[in-house]
Amino acid sequence: MGSDCLFCRIVAGEIPATVVRETATTLAFRDIGPKAPVHVLVIPKEHYADVATLAQGDPALAGEVLATAAAVAEDEGLLGDGFRLMFNTGAYGGQEVFHVHAHLLGGAPLGPMLARDLA
């Protein structure tokens, strides 16, 4: 991947982002269109298309993404009131950027898990 992938370009510093935490293997930055008072995207620096590919290909790296998300949740003061961590995946999941990212959402009550009851 690389130049074709928006989030690889953010990792490379080619596109600016408001970075809130960086580790050797992960990056966390604020979503450009926040859906909650806190809306941070957490990604592995290495390119994986989605959470299934990441978890199957490198489970340890998937764990590092979760650990970074937890550290950001703590930094942002979300641990007391809670938060939501979400991986949109594929067409039905509404994924738009195909470099795996966890959405960390919080800072206000987030409402129901889904806008509509699809069951």
Residues that bind Zn ion (CB under 5 A): 1, 5, 7-8, 47, 99
Which residues of this protein are in contact with ligand 5GP, per CB under 6 A?
A: 6, 15, 17, 29-33, 88, 94-97
In terms of phi and psi (left: phi > 0; alpha: psi -120 to 50; beta: otherwise), the region of 90 is left
Whether residue 101 lies in the annotated active site = yes
CB of 65 to ligand 5GP, least distance (A): 14
Strand ranges of the sheet holding 38-44, from the earlier edge strand across to the other edge = 19-22, 26-30, 38-44, 102-106, 83-86
List the single partner that 53 binds among ligand 5GP, Zn ion, none, CB under 5 to 8 Å by kind.
none
**Biggest alpha carbon distance in the chain?**
42
CB of 35 to Zn ion, least distance (A): 22
Q: Which residues are catalytic?
A: 101
